[in-house]
Amino acid sequence: MLQLLTYLSDHAGYMGVLLLGHIAMVACGIALALLVGVPLGVASARNRKLSTTILACANVIQVFPSLALLALLMLVFGLGFNSVVVGLFLYSLLPIIRNTYVGVTQVDRSVTEAAVGVGMSSWQILRKIQLPLALPFVMAGLRVAVVIAVGVATLAPIIGGEGLGREIYAGLTLGNPIRVYAGAIFAALLAVLMDFALGKLQKKTARISP
């Protein structure tokens, strides 16, 4: 433990750069997953036949081995940041799509019927009623997606990416367990802290939902 603390103290700046790179990859992948996953979740909730196809495709992506998927993406997008972000985007889709789908379908039918009765359009019902009520579910999916993305991002160095995984693989290559522990502990703490922060935000969204 003393050796680990000494290493972290001596290389704090370097670890900070790796941490920021890790966060940047995760943030970009999650942002793309939200932009695509929420509309797909809404579409699935509105069309049950379409939902079967969308959820099946998302499930297939999720069970695909992460290392194999990143290797395939490397062949298409090349080495580095872009391939990692696309991989994180794909792995984050399922929890966001599924939770959006569940959240929208769980809205009480009487509420939507009342909205139709007062003359609200389909778009207005979605924007003002269904999505706000589904927001806690979406946040739950986002929490799962972020934790998955933080873990998968540690594989980034295999395809030329940055992040905390670079320290882990450097330690494995050089036979230096201190570097492995440093990268792994930082990645684990990042996942825990982001899950904690999103959990707090999820509780707030549950309180303010109409």
Alpha helices in the chain (DSSP H): 2-10, 12-46, 48-63, 66-77, 81-105, 109-117, 122-125, 131-152, 165-174, 177-208
Rounded to whole angstroms, the Cα distance separating 46 from 37 reads 14
Task: Going residue by residue through the chain, which has 210 residues, state the pLDDT in tens, using 9 for 90 and above.
Answer: 778 888 888 888 999 999 999 999 999 999 999 999 999 999 999 888 888 899 999 998 888 888 888 888 998 888 889 999 999 999 999 999 999 999 998 888 888 878 778 878 788 888 888 888 889 899 999 999 999 999 999 999 988 888 999 999 999 988 889 999 999 999 999 999 999 999 888 887 766 555
Structure tokens at 207: 């309180």
pTM of the model: 0.89
- Taken in order 53, 58, 63, 64, the sign of the CA dihedral is positive
* pLDDT for position 25: 95
* pLDDT for position 166: 92
> Are 156 and 165 in contact, with CB atoms under 8 Å apart?
yes
Rounded to whole angstroms, the Cα distance separating 47 from 41 reads 10
Rounded to whole angstroms, the Cα distance separating 131 from 146 reads 20
Q: What is the set of domains in the chain, with CATH numbers?
A: 2-208 (1.10.3720.10)
* pLDDT for position 35: 96
Q: What's the angle, vertex CA 125, arms to CA 124 and CA 126, rounded to 5?
A: 90
Q: Which of 56, 45, 48 is nearest to 137 (CA)?
A: 45
* pLDDT for position 43: 92
Structure tokens at 53: 């196809």
